[in-house]
Amino acid sequence: MRISVVIRSKDEAGRLRLTLASLARQSVRAEVVVVDDGSSDDTPEVIEEVLRIMPVTAIRHETPRGRAAAANVGAQAATGDVLVFLDGDTLAGPDFVAAHAAAHARDEHLCGRGETFHLRQTRLLLDPETAAPQPGQAERVARLPAAELEAMKVTRRQIADDFGAIERRASPGVYPGAGPRALYELEIAALREHPDCAVLWVAAAGSNQSVRRRDFLAQGGFDESLGHIVEHRELPLRLCQAGCRMGFVPGARSYHLIHRSGWTGVDPLRQQRWEEDLYRRHRLPVVKLLVVLWASLASPSPVPPEARILSLPALERAARGETGIDYAAVRRNIPGFT
């Protein structure tokens, strides 16, 4: 079984260099496909540099087309039996490819979700290896003590020789914050403990997600008209409706080099269009309850304690109307939703 890792990247050259370094050190090798989605930085130079040490299929969009389109183009170019999607600011743990390969060997209809962590102290750094600051953070970074700044770095040497040092900095969840961590924990708990739950597609991840290439292509890939809050969940929904199974991939660990805290900038409670678009496509009651799930994890939560949805099995029961709670009224108390 051949694995293809499809990486979507835009304007994150220094981080992409580290992502590719992590794939060069895998216990099981994979085909690597990088889609540069219209970067204006030195991403092409980074890819040329990496090509000297490992084979990479590189595709460039001269103008950005979005995450879904980049993933679809990468999947078309890939030749592996299994596609694993990864972002250009996310490191793969040493057994990342091996874990996805083993999971798909056990279940040929799997839509797999790995373990997603974030690396603390990387938010201020555009390039965590050189400590080049993010735009607008130069003065703040310049004020940091030298020892503290050195400790914030993530280097190719660490990836190659001391990945344990990177793992010790990691925390569960794609972003820091109580909300993202609570969401991660309930998603992984559902995947581990409730494999027959009918709404496990909600636990899909935007990165560290795997699927058989044949199944991906049969479904037409990601819906490019959806926003990235739900595009990575909508495809697994279609896959599960077609007979695939959403499942946990133990040992497939990824480490996000963060660029913000919490849901700032992509807060699903402040962007209603994702719900309208998703509901228009699928007309499922559970779609209208996703906002209640996410609002239940907020602090403070606008959802009354007795109406909070704090697990995916509870989400399934609510979608079936088994709770006796008027969720239409609950939604009206969530700002921006009716």
- Classify each residue of 10-31 as buried b or exposed e, where b means 16 or more C-beta atoms within 10 Å of its C-beta: bbbbbbbbbbbbbbbbbeeebb
Q: Which ranges in the chain belong to alpha helices (H)?
A: 13-24, 43-51, 67-77, 96-106, 138-142, 146-152, 156-161, 163-167, 178-193, 213-218, 231-241, 273-282, 285-296, 312-319, 327-332
Shared-domain flag, residues 288 and 252 = no
Lowest-confidence range among 46-60, 235-249, 257-271? Answer: 257-271
Query: Which among 198, 231, 257 is the end of a domain?
Result: 257
The mean predicted confidence, pLDDT, of the chain is: 93
Q: Are residues 15 and 84 in the same domain?
A: yes
Total domains present in the chain: 2
On whether residue 134 sits in a domain, the answer given is no
How much is the pLDDT for 259?
82
Same domain, 205 and 301: no
Q: Do 305 and 242 share a structural domain? A: no
46 and 176 share one domain: yes
Instruction: Determine the pLDDT at residue 146.
Output: 95
126 domain residue, yes or no: no
The domain containing residue 184 runs over which residues?
Answer: 3-121+170-257
184 plus 324 within the same structural domain? no
The secondary structure element, H or E, covering residue 35 is: strand 31-37
Q: Whole-prediction pTM value?
A: 0.94
Average of pLDDT values for 193-200? 97
- For tokens 């040992």, the residue is 251
221 shares a domain with 189: yes
Same domain for 296 and 197:
no
- Do 288 and 233 sit in the same domain of this protein? no
Asked if residue 279 and residue 241 are part of one domain, the reply reads no
d(CA 76, CA 214): 10
**pLDDT tens for residues 10-42?**
999 999 999 999 999 999 999 999 999 999 999
Assess if residue 154 is contained within a domain. no
Residue pair 331/302 in contact (Cβ under 8 Å)? The answer is no
Residue 265 banded pLDDT, cuts 50, 70, 90: very low
Residues 108 and 32 occupy one common structural domain: yes
Residues 228, 193, single domain; the answer is yes
> Which CATH number characterizes residue 219's domain?
3.90.550.10
